[in-house]
Structure 1
C-alpha cells in the first residue's frame, strides 16, 4: 500500500499540472510540427511521454524505435525528453504505455497471466531506469471494454497488475499513475476504484470525449457542468466534469491523488440543418479536420484558433456548462478556450483535488500565433493553479490572453436554446472478415484498419473492426498502428 505522502509528488497544496506529449507531432508539417525541443519544461510539474506498447510476451516495447531509441542512428527521444529535467530540476517525467490505438485485447491477455504480468513489470522497470524516467503511466483503454478478451475478469486483473507494479516500483522509488475512463457508465465497468486507489500515486480522469461526432447530435467535448440540452437529465447520468469527479470521490478515491483532464483539442460535427445549430442539434457525423492533425471530427486548438482568426465563425457560450462552441454554416465545433480552462482549473481548486492533466501540449498555440504569448492555454491554467494558497483559493487577479482577431472576422457571443435531446452512441461494425483464431489481424481490404478476433463461448470467433487514426497503417509485426513508411502493405 502507498504511504500517506505521495512519493515524488508535490504536496497537496502545490497543485499538479500533468502534461501529456504526443510524440507523433514530430512528424507534422509546418507550424504543426512539435519536437521535444518545443516543450517548455517550466510550465508543467509532470511530463508524460506517449506512447510505448507491449508485445505478445507482455514486454514493454517502443512503438517507434527510430524516434525513441539511439540504436541504428535513431533520434534518441527518450534521453532528450528526460534531459528536460536539467532545465527544471523539480520536473518529473513519466513513460505512458497503452493508449487508444493499442486497444484492450493485448492488455487483457497480459493482465490475466502471472507470467506475462511479471514480464510487463520487469521490462517496464528496465526501460524506465535505462532512459531516466521517474515512473510509468498505465493507459489501458479499457479493462472489460472494447476488444477485451477476458471481460469482467479484467477488473480484478487490472488491480493485480497495479499491485505487482507497486510492490516492485517501491524498491526503486518510481511513480505509478493511470489514465482512466471518467464517467459512471464507463468507469463502473472497468475499475475496482477503492482498491486501485491503494496502489496509484496519481490518477488522471479523462474528462473529455463526453460527446463527439459518433453521436447523432452535437454536444460538448468536455462540459464542466450541466448545460444546454441537459434539462431533463438526472444528475448522476450527466456526462460532465463535475459529475465524473463526484463519482470517483464518492467511490472512495482520495482527492489528493486525483487530477482532471483538460482537452487542448475540439470535436467537429456536420449539422444536418444549418439553421438548427444549438447544443443537441441533429448531426450526421464528423466535421472539418485540421491541417496538422488531419482527422475528421477532431481539431487541435492551435488549428482551430487560426480558423477563427481567418474565417467568419459565430462563437456561442454555454453559460451553464462553461464551455464555448462555434458554428459556420454546417460546421459545428466544440472546443475549450482560455476562459473555459480557467473555469476548470478553478473548479479543481474548489474540490481540493491534486490538479489537472493536459491532453495534450502539442495542440496548444505553442507558437503564439493566435495569442500574444506562447502556450496560452497551458499558461492560463498554470496561473490559476500557481496562485492557489493552502486553502485552495486563488490569490489576486489572473490575467488572460485574448485571441488575436482577424480584421475581417466578427464573432458574436450568444447563447442558444437547445432543440433536441442526447441519444446513445451509434456503432457501424464492418464484420465481413472471417476469423480463424483469436488475435489481431490486418484488414485484407484496407491498410488503415484491422480486426481483433474474440472467441465466443461456443468456440467460434467473432471479428471486431478497428480503424487506425488518419494517415496511419496497421503494422502486423508491431501489432499496432504505425507510420506508412514503416509498414509493408500492398492493398
Structure 2
C-alpha cells in the first residue's frame, strides 16, 4: 500500500521541488456546496464547520432581462440566515454564493459576458449582493461556454470582475471579495460542441481558484457498461481526474489555484450478467436511485439493507457494491482520503464536495477528508 501511494503521488511530473517553492503557501481550501433547496431538511446551522474552510450557497441566477440579482424576499431572508448562521458557528467559515449550476441557462451567461456594459451591470450587482448579505466571495458555475467565442467571453468576464472587485475593495477599505469558478474536469473540451479550451491565462490572473469538477465521467447517458464516475485513474480512457488535473497544469494554471472536486454521491447500473461485476462490466440500464443516482447516505442504506458485496477498485481508486444485477459505484472513506492525499501531495489548493447533506449523519466522509489533509505540513 505504501508503494501504491508513492506511485500515485508521483504520477505528475513535477517541474520544480514542490516543498522549496512554498515559501508562503496559500491557505488550504476545504469546501462544499450547500444546495439551497434542502434548506428545510438541512439548514446551514446543521453544518459542522470544523470540517470546512469555505461553504458555497448554491445557487443564484441573475435576471434574464436586467442581468441583476432581483431576488424575492424569501431568498433574501435565506441568504441572511445562511451567512449569519455560519458566522456564528465555532469555528466560522468563509461563505460564497455560487451563480449558475448544472442545468442553468448557459445562453444567458453568454449574453451577459458578450459586451462590457452588460458584464459591468452583472458584476456590480453580484458585488452589491455579496456585500449586502455578508458573503466573503463569489463563484460562477457556467456549464459550459460552448465554443471558442464564449470562452473569450468568459475570459473577459472574469478579467473585468477581478478589476471591479479590487477597485471596490480599495474604495471601501474592505477585504477584496473572493472570486472562484466551477469548471470542467479538463482544461480542454473534446465533446459537447467544437474543440475549445478554457482561458488559462485569464483564470490564473483573475480567479482565486477554480473548483475542478472531477466527477460525472459516467452516468445514465451510457447504460452499456458500469463506470467509476469519479475515477482518479482510468487505464483505458482520458475520463479520469488524473488526466483532467494534469491538463489544467499543462495549460498553465498554478496548482495553488486548483481545488479538486469529490462527489458525495454514486451512480448505479443494472448488470447484464450478475456474475460479471467489475468496473466496466456490461450493463443494460440504470440501477437503484433517482435516474441511477444515490447520495452517499443512500448508498450506505442500500449496502446495509441488501447486504451487498462491497469492493474497492485499486485501478480507479473507487468503490462499488453489487447484489444480483444491481451495481453502485461511489467514493468511500478509503477512496476519498486517497484522493485528498493525492491532491495535497501534488500541491493543489484543496478539495471540495458536491454536496453538503449527501454525507452520512455522522459526517463520515467529510471527517476523514479533513483529517487526511495535513494542515501543518509546511
- Quickly name the TM-score band, shorter chain normalised: 0.7 to 0.9
Offset at residue 195 of structure 1 (A): 2.5
Distance verdict in 2 for CA 1:270–1:246, change over 3 Å = same
Counterparts of 2:260 and 2:183, CA distance in 1: 10
Q: Are the equivalent residues in 2 in contact too, given 1:57–1:119 (CA < 8 A)?
A: no
Q: Are the equivalent residues in 2 in contact too, given 1:213–1:287 (CA < 8 A)?
A: no
Q: Are the equivalent residues in 2 in contact too, given 1:13–1:389 (CA < 8 A)?
A: no
TM-score by length of 1: 0.66
Verify: 1:46 aligned to 2:34, yes or no: no
Match of 1:204, SS?
Answer: strand
User: What corresponds to 1:267 in structure 2?
Assistant: 267
Offset at residue 67 of structure 1 (A): 4.5
Verify: 1:182 aligned to 2:185, yes or no: yes
User: What corresponds to 2:143 in structure 1?
Assistant: 141
User: What corresponds to 1:55 in structure 2?
Assistant: 63
Q: Are the equivalent residues in 2 in contact too, given 1:134–1:174 (CA < 8 A)?
A: yes
The equivalent position to 1:192 in structure 2, one of 199, 204, 227, is: 199
Q: Are the equivalent residues in 2 in contact too, given 1:58–1:110 (CA < 8 A)?
A: no
User: What corresponds to 1:239 in structure 2?
Assistant: 239
The structure where helix makes up a greater share of residues is 2
Counterparts of 1:266 and 1:320, CA distance in 2: 18
- Structure 1: gaps (5+ residues): 1-10, 28-32, 70-75, 145-150, 290-294, 368-373, 391-491
Offset at residue 185 of structure 1 (A): 5.1
User: What corresponds to 2:8 in structure 1?
Assistant: none
Counterparts of 1:115 and 1:53, CA distance in 2: 18
Offset at residue 113 of structure 1 (A): 2.9
Q: Are the equivalent residues in 1 in contact too, given 2:267–2:292 (CA < 8 A)?
A: yes
Matches within 5 A, 1:428-467: none
Offset at residue 92 of structure 1 (A): 1.1
Distance verdict in 2 for CA 1:176–1:302, change over 3 Å = same
Verify: 1:382 aligned to 2:370, yes or no: yes
Match of 1:361, SS?
Answer: coil
Matches within 5 A, 1:288-299: 288-289=288-289, 295-299=290-294
Verify: 1:116 aligned to 2:118, yes or no: yes
Q: Which has the higher contact order (CA 8 A, sep 6+)?
A: 2
- Matched pairs, number: 342
Q: Are the equivalent residues in 2 in contact too, given 1:178–1:202 (CA < 8 A)?
A: yes
Cα-to-partner distance string for 1:162-184 (whole Å, 9 max, x where unaligned): 01110111122111000000135
Verify: 1:303 aligned to 2:298, yes or no: yes
User: What corresponds to 1:81 in structure 2?
Assistant: 82
Distance verdict in 2 for CA 1:88–1:311, change over 3 Å = same
Q: Are the equivalent residues in 2 in contact too, given 1:12–1:354 (CA < 8 A)?
A: no
Matches within 5 A, 1:291-440: 295-365=290-360, 367=361, 374-390=362-378
Distance verdict in 2 for CA 1:284–1:58, change over 3 Å = farther
Cα-to-partner distance string for 1:41-71 (whole Å, 9 max, x where unaligned): 22111110000012223524367x46422xx
Cα-to-partner distance string for 1:285-322 (whole Å, 9 max, x where unaligned): 32211xxxxx2211100111122122221112211212
Distance verdict in 2 for CA 1:253–1:337, change over 3 Å = same
The equivalent position to 1:159 in structure 2, one of 138, 155, 158, is: 155
Flag the structure with larger Rg.
1
Counterparts of 2:206 and 2:99, CA distance in 1: 17
Counterparts of 2:157 and 2:198, CA distance in 1: 12
Match of 2:61, SS?
Answer: strand
Distance verdict in 2 for CA 1:207–1:60, change over 3 Å = farther
Q: Are the equivalent residues in 2 in contact too, given 1:180–1:204 (CA < 8 A)?
A: yes
User: What corresponds to 1:214 in structure 2?
Assistant: 221
Match of 1:358, SS?
Answer: strand
Q: Are the equivalent residues in 2 in contact too, given 1:104–1:142 (CA < 8 A)?
A: yes
TM-score by length of 2: 0.85
Cα-to-partner distance string for 1:108-156 (whole Å, 9 max, x where unaligned): 1221132221221011011111100011101000001xxxxxx321010
